[in-house]
Amino acid sequence: MTSRERVLAALDHRQPDRVPVDFGGASVTGIHVSSVAALRDYYGLQKRPVKLHEPLQMLGWIDDDLKDAMGIDVEGVFPYNTIFGFKNENWKTWRAGWGQELLVPGDFNVTYDGNGDTLIYPEGDTSVPPSGRMPKGFYFFDAIIRQPPIDEGKLNPQDNLEEFTPIADCYLAHLARAAPEAASKGRAVIAAFGGTGFGDVALVPGTFLKHPKGIRDVTEWYVSTRTRRDYLHTVFAGQCKIALANLERIRQVVAGNVDVAFICGTDFGTQTSSFCSVQTFRELYMPYYQAVNGWIHRRTNWKTFKHSCGAVEKFMESFIDAGFDIISPVQCSAAGMDPAQLKSRYGDRLVFWGGGVDTQKSLPFGTPEEVRRQVLERCEVFSKNGGFVFDTVHNIQALTPVENIVAMVEAIREFNAR
């Protein structure tokens, strides 16, 4: 099979010729810039600065030579703007705090405070308050909460709809170029169009907005799912209406060059529990997911991709009812997320995109042999009858030993050779 045929077979719950692999296709399946550099060195690839394409999590662009070396079957199409509101263009060099020279977008503008923390700015505008902070000695940014005191009498749902607008012609032009280019590589294409992540707390703080209004504190947002539900319904309804109109225009320009649509990065699970009840999910979130997923399934061949970390086994039936085809990252270390049980209960209705190896303990802190054993075990469980795309549990982090990453790649090959 070609890479694309392999992924499509897995998505259709058919047995592919081997387990398909994704690293770097989405902002939740990526590799930290430092690990990308280490992998390029390990495989003896041309030495050059890694491109930083997702600055919040400091994810590196994976070039074709590294994709080939790692056996990657997926190509990503990313939004026009980064999470800090500037475009991935006009590349320049920048040296990170750990000494690595990177290529960063031209509007990646930072300053340093008295503690040595790195501050980054929405749209690269250093005349407004920073929206992200990388503490000294750290390897990624945190959003800075810029939530003014809330006046209940003046809360306006339109303030939380500021970022949801009709898609710009320049964004459509970007997709019209990027989607065919991605499809030409022969890999399956996953595209993140934006605007469909209802309540995604990575986006709630508005790191891309110069002066965000509305409810922008993550804690306050979660509280609002209980105390201001009518407000959130108004936000979600407005967002959904705009998203559906945008999807129609997007569909016309990307045509058949996309296989998977990244819909939502909203996390519903913690390590041991969840952020809300199943009842809250079905009442507050599900109608809007059903509208988006239903629209896509009626008009395209795209499969729909749902990201949620944590203990989300109790939501799986609801994810299916909401119309999602794919769940990622499959955090098997969280409570109730046993791989065999997940595959047995939901494996004929959900594609597990991830779960291949734990990124909290095994990959960063285990031995290569421990990594190998876990990869083989997870592939054995998840790959039966298709419905599995190999990826780690979320992004590969900084300081992960390159020997462990390579052990993971070699274990996939070992399994596929059986």
- Residue 153: per-residue pLDDT: 93
pLDDT digits (tens, 9 = 90+) for 352-377: 999 999 999 999 999 999 999 999 99
The residues, any chain, with a CB within 8 Å of residue 314's CB and separated by 6 or more, are 274, 278, 336
Burial of 48 (0-12, 13-18, 19+ CB in 10 A): exposed
What is the C-alpha to C-alpha distance for residues 391 and 23, in angstroms, rounded to an integer?
6
- Residue 32: per-residue pLDDT: 98
Listed residue (181, 173, 5) closest to 76, CA to CA: 181
pLDDT digits (tens, 9 = 90+) for 172-218: 999 999 999 999 999 999 999 999 999 999 999 999 999 999 999 99
What's the pLDDT band for 148 if we cut at 50, 70, 90? confident
Beta bridge partners of 190: 76, 260
Q: With 90 as the cut, is the pLDDT of residue 331 above it? A: yes
- Residue 252: per-residue pLDDT: 96
In this prediction, residues 138-151 reach a mean pLDDT of: 95
How much is the mean pLDDT over the chain? 97
pLDDT digits (tens, 9 = 90+) for 91-106: 999 999 999 999 999 9
Q: With 90 as the cut, is the pLDDT of residue 254 above it? A: yes
Q: With 90 as the cut, is the pLDDT of residue 255 above it? A: no
Residue with tokens 């209004």: 213
Predicted TM-score (pTM) above 0.95:
yes
